[in-house]
Amino acid sequence: MERKVFSVQGKEVHTIELNDKVFGLPVNEDVVYYAINNELANLRVGTACTKDRGEVHGSNAKPFHQKGTGRARQGDKKSPLLVGGGTIFGPKPRDYGYKLPKKVKRLAMKTILSMKIQQDRLKVIEDFSVETGKTKDLVSLLKNLVPQERTVIVLKDEDAKLKQAARNLPWVQFLSYRRLRAHDLFYGKHVLLLETAAKNLNTFYEQKSEGEE
């Protein structure tokens, strides 16, 4: 498919051919759901921890006599039934992360890119940078391209100056074409794809697709 390529002034300069195997797939909601859940699960710290009756500090003595009180019998003061006692089946530190098949991950990224094309929320932009590293210079560039809404910029490689300029812009996120994140792409209201990154995605995911067959 052909897409327009815009300059940083927001004007159409030429067109680019995008690979239909990457940007023209039908929407597969299932793989997008699996990919986003996997990323969120891998980000969980899993440090929640409670103490059971064997870990609570306290006496092992019975709180009262076994018989004659009319109350239910208790083993010790650390019983979960008493105030200050242990917790029954409470959370323990654990790793929530799990691996997702590579085919599912790649299909999810291609599905989201295709979805953004269908929603007309993806623009291909001429390669640019902010040599000064100043936020105001980046804002002046972006105002010609997108409103100040959650925006994802897909880079051809690491650009320290560009990222420095966006440090104070909470609505701007950067992704490398080699390391896309399903969560950021899906929830980004606008996706700006640098021209070189678009060309790289054409071949990067096409090669992966051939190996999946």
CA 166 vs CA 40, 102, 163, 182, 185: distances in Å: 24, 31, 5, 21, 17
CB 145 within 8 A of CB 6: yes
Residue of higher predicted confidence among 210 and 139: 139
C-alpha distances in angstroms, 149 versus 24, 95, 155, 170, 176?
A: 25, 34, 19, 9, 20
The pLDDT score that the predictor gives to residue 89 is 94
Q: What is the pLDDT of residue 207?
A: 54
The pLDDT tens digits of the residues spanning 113-142 come to: 999 999 999 999 998 888 888 999 899 889
Q: Which whole-number Å values give the CA distances from 39 to 31, 125, 198, in the listed order?
A: 12, 28, 23
At 204, is the pLDDT very low, low, confident or very high (cuts 50, 70, 90)?
confident
Percent of the chain with pLDDT over 90: 59
Model confidence at 10: pLDDT above 90: no
For the chain, give the mean pLDDT: 89
Distance CA 27, CA 36 (A): 15
Global pTM reads 0.81
Separation of first and last alpha carbons in the chain = 22
Checking if the pLDDT of 212 tops 50, the result is: no
2-32+101-212, CATH topology level: Ribosomal Protein L4; Chain: A; (3.40.1370)
Domain ranges of the chain: 2-32+101-212
User: Which strands form 151-155's sheet, in the order they lie side by side?
Assistant: 12-17, 2-6, 122-125, 190-194, 151-155, 172-176
pLDDT score at 210: 40
Residue 210 CB neighbour total at 10 angstroms: 9
Can you tell me the mean pLDDT for 39-56? Answer: 94
Q: Looking at residue 92, what is its pLDDT?
A: 94
